[in-house]
Structures are given as C-alpha cells and as structure tokens.
Structure 1
Amino acid sequence: MSIQSRTSAIGWLFVSLAIIMITVFYFYPMVQALLLSFKSGTGMNLEFIGIDNYKRLFSDSTFKTALTNTFIYLIIQVPAMIILALFISVLLNNSELKFKGFFRTAIFLPAVTSLVAYSVIFKYLFATDGLINKLLLSVQLIQTPIEWITDPFWAKVTIIIAITWRWTGYNMIFYLSSLQNIDPSIYEAARIDGASSVRQFFGITIPLLKPIILFTSITSTIGTLQLFDEVVNITKGGPGNATMSISHYIYNLSFKYTSDFGYAATVSYSIVVIIIILAFLQFKLAGDKK
C-alpha cells in the first residue's frame, strides 16, 4: 500500500465514526419521519394512506392559525432582532467605550439562560399584576393594566419581546467578531474623505458584514419557525390558539391530542419546506451566487 493510500485510509478511519453517528442519529430519523408522514393512525397502529396527510394540511384551520402566528413572529421579530444586534455590536466595537467586557457579557447572557427558566420569569413579569404593568402604571404611561398574557394581540407582543431579548445578544457576538476583523484603516480613509458615521455604517460596515447578516438571518429564521419553549411556558398557545406556533401544534398532535404521529410528521415536514423556500429567497435577495 502506498503512502498516499495509507494516509487516505487513516483519514477515512478518523471520520468514519462521525459519518456513522450522523447517519444513525440524523439522516435515518429524517427518512423515517418522511415515511411516517405518509401514514395515519393512533399510537403505533399506523397504516399507509399516501398523500392524504398533506391534503389535510390545506383544510386544517388549526395549522393555518399556527402558521399565521409563526409568520407574524418571523416577520416582526427577526428583522427587529438583526437591526438591534447590528446597532449594539457597532456601539460595543467602539475602542473608546469603557467597560466593554461587562456590556458584552451582560447582553450575551440571555443566550445561555435556560429557556424554561427565562420563559417562566417573563410570564410573571408580564402578568396582569406583574412588574411591567406596575412600572407602566407608576410612570402613568397606562391607566389600566395591560393583559399581556390573556389578550391575543398583547400575548403575541410578549412572545416577540421574549425571543428578541434572548437571541439579540447571540447574534451580536457574530457581528462583533466580524467587526473586529475589519481593517481600521478603511474607516480612517473614509473619515479623511469626509464620510459621516452613518455613511460609514451603510457604505462600509453593512457591505462587509453581508455574509454574516445572511447567516444570522437564515439561522434566526430557522429558530423562529421552530419556536416552542416560549409559547408553551408563557402563554400555553393561548388565549385560544392566538399564540400557538407550528412546533407547539406538532407537540399537541403527538402528545396532547389523540396521538397522530403520521400527521405530526407531515406538519414537521411543512417546516422543512418553508425553511428551504425562505433560505433560497434570502440567498437570492442577498445576491449570493455561491
């Protein structure tokens, strides 16, 4: 055996375990879930029904409600979070700012907080007699307490605030690390040419951060489409189904309602299709040809 062949064999030996693990725990469940989406029945008593589950999606009012709620979160929260993360990262990249380490840590901490723990805290903060209403009443911004949890509109607002609070710092770290890799001489040359801070931001920072913005947009979109913990722990999908997400509906189909794993798998694959479409559109809008 030649040295090249031996080196290749050793390389495959090292990656073989990873390939086996990914196949067993990632690709195999994906294929099984796809096959499951063509079946129906309670528990494990399933029978093949073809594409009937996919036809059912188009007449399922609860699915349509969950899909609408999820897209409301997506359309409002993702752009707001990305803009906020960009703004904060630019501020914290200022070399003249004191206590930068403290501010960076404080803003990033929500990202490592337990999902259940922070959701429960938000539920109490935004309760009718919670701290948020008490503060708003004390400064006379409102005359009566806002029903943050029980009103359909304000319940959605609460969910959006919660996920924005948690994930803004996470995205900020990506922007901040990328900003630190930009040569300061580029900004210095722009200042010499008379470019204002705003002009530098839109003419230098945004174009150079374009790949990272695209990456965070896609990952944030995927995360929002899979939203589950906040909805379950803060509003339980209510009032009614006003805040139910697609992932929450999948959970209900599997474990809360009469178990229908086949239809739950179908709804799961609807998320896959939506993610593929939105990721494709984001790549196209960003002008990424790779």
Structure 2
Amino acid sequence: MRVRSRTAYGFLAPYLLIFAGFWIWPILYSFYLSFLSTRIQPWTFNPTINWGRLVIDPAFANALKNTLIILVIQVPVMIALATLLAVLLNSHLLRARGIMRFAFFAPVVVGEVAYAAVFRLMFNTDFGVVNKIIGVVGIPPVSWFSNPTAAMALIIMAVTWRWVGYNAIIILSGLQTIPEDVYEAATLDKVSKTKQFFFITLPLLKPIILVCVVLSVIGTMQLFAEPFLITNRGGPGGATETLGLFLYRQGFTVLNFGYASAVAYTIAALAVIISVLNLWLGRDPK
C-alpha cells in the first residue's frame, strides 16, 4: 500500500512542484511584501506603512466605494435577470433551445478587448448607436465617458451583459434538477404559474442562486477589465476606478509592490467576508 502511495505521489510531484512555485509561493511572498516599504532601496521592514495607509488613503477609499456601488447594484440585477432568463430557456415552448442557450452564454467567450471596443463604439457620445436611439425619443445625448454617473452605469451594463448568460446557464442546470412531479401536483391544486415560481422554483433554486451570488461577489471585487478598457483606466477622474484597477496601478504603474500586496489581501478578505455573509443570510432556518 505504501509503495502504491509513493508511486502516486511520484506522478503528482511535477504538478505539486509547479503549484507550489507558481501559486503558493507568490501568495506567501506577497503577504510578506505587504509588510515592507518598497518605495525605498533597499526594501525595509515596516509593518504599518502599507496597512496604515489603507485607512487614510482617499484613492483607496474611492476605489472601494466604486467597487461596492457596482456590487450592490449590478450583482442583484444580474442574478434577477439570470434567473428569469434561465426560466425562459427552460421553457418547453421555446424552440431551438440549444442555440438560444449558446447565444446567451457566448459573451463569456468573447475577448475582453473586442467587447470593450464594441461598447466604446456603441456608447460614443457623437456617433454611437445608443445615443442615436435615445435621441429618437427626444432624450439629449449622454456623455457616457465624461459624466461620472453615466460612466458608472456603462460599467454596470457592460458587466451585466457579459455575465448574465453565464449565471443563467448555472441556474438553468439547477432548474433541470427540479422534478416535474412537483409542478404537476401544484397545477392539479390550481396553483398559478406565478405562485409556482415564487413558492416552488425560487426556494428549490436557493442553493444554486447562492453559488452564483458568491461567484459574482468574488468577480466584482476583482473587477479590472471593464474600467480599464471601456472607461479608460477608471475615468473620468477615477469615477469608475475599482479595487482591481487600483491594485494594478499601485503594483505596475507606481511600482509600489508592498502597498499593492496589502490592497490584494484586503480585496481577498472583503470578498471572503461578503461571501460568508451572503451564505449566512441565505442559510436554511432550523
């Protein structure tokens, strides 16, 4: 038995070494960096310089505020839309369901640069199709990239468009595990479709929806591509700068690796806290 175990670990050794070298070691080393002053040479140990700065840094506070705004608005809207979309995709009245499911999942596989370029063209103030459409109903053109509120709304719409189909497919997999007998019994008892949705479908989908919420929270806390590519590095004036973008700027623009490491661990801690809070609120009462 021991020989077989040693053989198994021998085959696993290359992967374990790569995992330790490219995953575990960077995590541990970045934690060590968060206690160093990396703006001076040589780097010196100073436990308070980075962690203390988090408390008083207005730029970090702004990035945290923007991230929480996106989290509070975008995640509930996206999960609600994904749930409704999953119900529609699960309907027996829908033709070509396979093609429709792929169509809504497709945004996930589209390159971030490509879809960001499309959004920049669509929402261009002067010749974008969105302003032309709203102009038809008498609404003046919106400065999507220079107005802070409009820029934040653009980021929320872009993230929702990209990920709503992904979450819908996950929720759809949960829908398909619900026995048809439950709905047949409810129909025989003359329960309306609306009540079936709220009192049968949603309660049975609760664990799947919680998974989607946790994944969405983690993704939002790391949000980087959309504010970097669509609103030109968190513009206007930092109005859409997220924690992920702030971390990138500190680490690879300012080259303050110690502070960037502290920000990274703060993002991870916030993601864990918010995710655990969601799981606690969504737990089944005993």
TM-score range, shorter chain: over 0.9
Other-structure match for 1:189: 185
Matches within 5 A, 1:110-121: 110-121=107-118
**1:13-38 Cα shifts (integer Å, max 9, x gaps):** 44444333322221111100100001
Structure 2 unpaired stretches of 5+? none
Contact 1:39/1:49, CA 8 A, preserved across alignment? yes
Over aligned residue pairs, what C-alpha RMSD do you find? 1.7
Residue 76 of structure 2 aligns with an amino acid whose one-letter code is P
Does structure 1 residue 148 correspond to structure 2 residue 144?
Answer: yes
TM-score normalized by the length of structure 1: 0.93
Gap change, CA 1:12 and 1:48, over 3 Å in 2: same
Matched ranges for 1:151-162 at <5 A? 151-162=147-158
Identity among equivalent pairs (%) = 42
1:186 aligns to what SS in structure 2?
helix
1:133 counterpart residue number: 131
Closer, same or farther: CA 194–79 of 1 in aligned 2, 3 Å: same
Aligned to 2:54: 57
1:150 counterpart letter in structure 2:
S
Once the two structures are TM-superposed, the CA of residue 135 in structure 1 deviates from its matched residue by 1.1
3-state SS in 2 of match to 1:71: helix
Q: What is the count of residue pairs matched by the alignment?
A: 283
Structure 2 residue aligned with 1:265: 261
1:226 lines up with 2:222 in the alignment:
yes
**Separation in 2 of the partners of 1:131 and 1:102?**
26
Please identify, of 103-112 and 67-76, the stretch whose mean Cα deviation from structure 2 is larger.
103-112
Quick one: distance in 2 between partners of 1:239 and 1:66? 13
Partners of 1:110 and 1:169 within 8 A in 2: yes
Matched to 2:256, the amino acid is: D
Please, which of 168, 177, 199 is the counterpart of residue 173 of structure 2?
177
* CA positional deviation for 1:45: 4.0
Written as runs of structure 1 = structure 2, the 5 A alignment for 1:71-150 is 71-129=68-126, 130-138=128-136, 140-142=137-139, 144-150=140-146
CA separation of 1:215 and 1:141: change in aligned 2, threshold 3 A: farther
Contact 1:250–1:264 (8 Å) recurs in 2: yes
From 23, 28, 39, the equivalent of 1:31 is 28
Is this contact kept in 2: 1:74–1:221, CA < 8 A? Answer: yes
Distance (whole Å) between structure 2 residues aligned to residue 43 and residue 223 of structure 1 = 33
Give me the whole-angstrom Cα distance separating, in 2, the residues matched to 1:227 and 1:44: 32
Paired residue for 2:253?
Answer: 256
Give the match's secondary structure for 2:92. Answer: coil
Residue identity opposite 2:268 in structure 1: V
Normalised by the size of structure 2, how large is the TM-score?
0.94
Matched position secondary structure for 2:91: coil
Residue segments in structure 1 that go unaligned for 5+ positions in a row = none
Aligned partners of 1:127 and 1:148 also within 8 Å: yes
Q: Is the 8 A contact 1:34 1:266 kept in 2?
A: yes
1:229 and 1:270, CA in 2 relative to 1: closer, same or farther beyond 3 A?
A: same
Secondary structure at the aligned position of 1:128 is classed as coil
Which of 242-251 and 10-19 deviates more?
10-19
Q: Who is 1:277 aligned against?
A: 273
